[in-house]
């Protein structure tokens, strides 16, 4: 189940170099020792471990470390000079692979493998082999715990708690228990056990209140690159004024996305593209989508993905998308997607590779990741991104109507503890024609400052004064917004 058989096959293939990228060092060493001990007499090979701190040590039997072989060059020379077969596990050797002397020593060991079969296993969180060693190597990916194995890990942690608290048993809500098993997916054995221990040992129970903490800790373990931001508490749909057609569309797909049995025969929704006027609620709609689906929200920041070193940008994007897959079910919000994949000056080659990486992931994605991409400039988006099939639907977020403006105004006043009954909502909504949702909010904020400065209670006249002083974006950039609205007419689905 954990890849033990696959590892044994690679070991038996007598490949000179085996690369294992993992953070679960203890488990892979335990696996190697168990395979070594279980070997027949004819196949048996001594197993050694090397660290820069302790040197070389035989670990299939109890022997003291050889401190004299602690230097990287010394241990490689020792392995090259040994006349008997063996397996040598080098831990965290990756920083020393830049040294040409070390590379030559490893190559010597590989070339002479037929004379003396000495296998080198490189274990670290990341290993990048020099090109001249690639042909001598194989990679092994240790399988992550399956659902059954996660269930056993949680049960073992619960048994540990019971042993420490005689006479008591771990209280578990059945729904929360199943969600915990699912949410721990994608983690190593060690991390799975640690997060299960955090949840159970806190209060001796497994409840829904444990899940946000588990997801937050899981995100922190996975997102070491920093390109994705995590938010578990997402906006409720009541915080969004208007967007009635979008709300209805999402509500119809909620049961399918959540994997309810009644909707098992339907295709899982993939995502939506939100295009519209700046400040009209695209970002809030993305947050609210996670809220209505009841899942965490991940935000992909393309600004942190781009890197000056060749190939690093694509690697960061692949790792970020992999994080989203592991965090599923979730909503992945890609804000202003055109800035990440629509060309960045002279970086056209990089942006094309980024676009290709993203489109491949979209096409092959099998995880419960619902993508919400937002864009302000549709003309910058490549046609292969907006064609039918990439997204389930393309929605257009327009300037709010009078009814929606009144709703948005009421929401922002209520959020600031104002009694709506004291305001002439209809008159203010009329005066705010052409205002975006962000501009309506800013008018309320500015009016509060004015009322405070005048030592008065906020009233309609304060808000009206700010409205009269404001020139909304629809006036300042009338031509661009008119062109955007004209393009969207007939090509997209209105959110209202």
Reported as a single tens digit per residue, the pLDDT across 467-486 is 999 988 888 888 888 888 88
CA neighbours closer than 13 Å in the CB half-sphere of residue 96:
21
Task: Give DSSP secondary structure letters for 193-251.
Answer: HHHHHHHHHHHSEE-GGGHHHHHHHHHHHH-TT--EEEESSPPPGGGS-S-HHHHHHHH
CATH of 237-397, one of 3.10.310.30, 3.90.1170.50, 3.40.630.30, 3.40.50.300: 3.40.50.300
Phi, psi of 343 (to 5 degrees): 100, 135
- What average pLDDT does the structure give for the chain? 85
Say what the pLDDT of residue 36 is: 81
Handedness of CA 271, 275, 279, 280 (dihedral sign): negative
Q: How distant is the alpha carbon of residue 311 from its chain centre?
A: 20
Long-range Cβ contacts of 125-131 (<8 Å, 24+ apart): 125/21, 125/22, 125/23, 126/21, 126/94, 127/19, 127/20, 127/21, 127/93, 127/94, 127/97, 128/94, 128/97, 129/17, 129/19, 129/97, 130/97, 130/103
Say what the pLDDT of residue 345 is: 46
Task: Write down the pTM of the prediction.
Answer: 0.69
67 Cβ contact list (under 8 Å, min separation 6): 54, 55
Topology agreement, domain 147-222 and domain 237-397: no
Question: 402-476 domain in CATH 2.60.40.10?
Answer: no
CA-CA distances (angstroms) from residue 417 to 240, 442, 448?
A: 17, 16, 11
3-state secondary structure of 487: helix
Closest-CA residue to 322 (of 340, 292, 300, 355): 300
- Tell which wins on pLDDT, 278 or 117: 117
- Tell which wins on pLDDT, 21 or 343: 21
- Contact in structure between 268 and 339 (CB atoms under 8 Å): no
- Residue 167 CA to residue 32 CA, distance in Å, equals 39
Say what the pLDDT of residue 226 is: 59
Q: Where are the domains of the chain?
A: 4-139, 147-222, 237-397, 402-476
Reported as a single tens digit per residue, the pLDDT across 145-158 is 888 888 999 999 99
Provide CATH code, domain 4-139.
3.40.50
Reported as a single tens digit per residue, the pLDDT across 365-379 is 888 899 999 887 777
Handedness of CA 381, 387, 391, 396 (dihedral sign): positive
The domain at 147-222 falls in which architecture? Orthogonal Bundle (1.10)
- Residue 290 CA to residue 371 CA, distance in Å, equals 10
């Amino acid at each position: 189940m954990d890849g033990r058989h696959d590892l044994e096959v690679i070991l038996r293939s007598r490949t000179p170099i085996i690369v294992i990228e993992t953070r679960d060092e203890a488990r892979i060493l335990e696996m190697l020792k168990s395979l070594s001990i279980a070997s027949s007499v004819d196949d048996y090979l001594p197993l050694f471990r090397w660290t820069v701190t302790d040197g070389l040590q035989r670990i299939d039997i109890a022997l003291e470390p050889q401190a004299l072989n602690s230097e990287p060059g010394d241990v490689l020379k020792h392995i090259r000079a040994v006349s008997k077969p063996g397996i040598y596990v080098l831990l965290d050797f990756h920083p020393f692979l830049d040294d040409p002397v070390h590379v030559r020593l490893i190559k010597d060991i590989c070339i002479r493998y037929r004379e003396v079969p000495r296998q080198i296993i490189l274990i670290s969180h990341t290993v990048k082999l020099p090109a001249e060693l690639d042909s001598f190597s194989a990679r092994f990916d240790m399988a992550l715990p399956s659902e059954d194995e996660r269930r056993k890990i949680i049960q073992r942690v619960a048994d540990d708690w019971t042993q420490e608290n005689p006479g008591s048993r771990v209280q578990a809500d059945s729904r929360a228990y199943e969600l915990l098993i699912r949410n721990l997916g994608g983690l190593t054995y060690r991390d799975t056990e640690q997060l299960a221990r955090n949840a159970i040992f806190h209060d001796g129970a497994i409840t829904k209140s444990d899940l946000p903490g588990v997801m937050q800790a899981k995100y922190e373990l996975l997102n070491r690159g920093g390109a994705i931001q995590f938010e578990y508490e997402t906006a409720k749909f009541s915080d969004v004024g208007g967007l009635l057609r979008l709300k209805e569309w999402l509500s119809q797909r909620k049961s399918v996305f959540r994997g309810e049995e009644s909707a098992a025969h339907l295709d899982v929704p993939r995502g939506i593209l939100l295009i519209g006027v700046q400040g009209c609620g695209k970002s809030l709609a993305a947050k609210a989508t996670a809220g209505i689906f009841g899942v965490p929200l991940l935000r992909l920041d393309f600004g942190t993905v781009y890197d000056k070193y060749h190939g690093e940008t694509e690697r960061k994007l692949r790792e970020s998308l992999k994080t989203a897959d592991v965090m599923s079910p979730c909503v992945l919000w890609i804000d202003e997607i055109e800035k990440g994949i629509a060309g960045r000056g002279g970086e056209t080659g990089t942006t094309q590779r980024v676009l290709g990486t993203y489109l491949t992931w979209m096409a092959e994605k099998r995880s419960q990741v619902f993508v919400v991409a937002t864009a302000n400039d549709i003309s910058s988006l490549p046609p292969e991104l907006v064609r039918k099939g990439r997204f389930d639907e393309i929605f257009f977020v327009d300037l709010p109507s009078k009814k929606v403006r009144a709703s948005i105004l009421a929401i922002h006043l209520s959020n600031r503890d104002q009694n709506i009954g004291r305001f002439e909502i209809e008159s203010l909504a009329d005066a705010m024609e052409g205002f975006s949702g962000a501009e309506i909010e800013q008018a309320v904020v500015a009016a509060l400052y004015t009322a405070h400065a005048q030592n008065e209670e906020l009233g309609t006249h304060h808000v009206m004064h700010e409205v009269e002083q404001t020139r909304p974006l629809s006036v300042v950039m009338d031509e661009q917004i008119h062109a955007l609205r004209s393009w969207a007419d007939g090509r997209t689905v209105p959110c209202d």
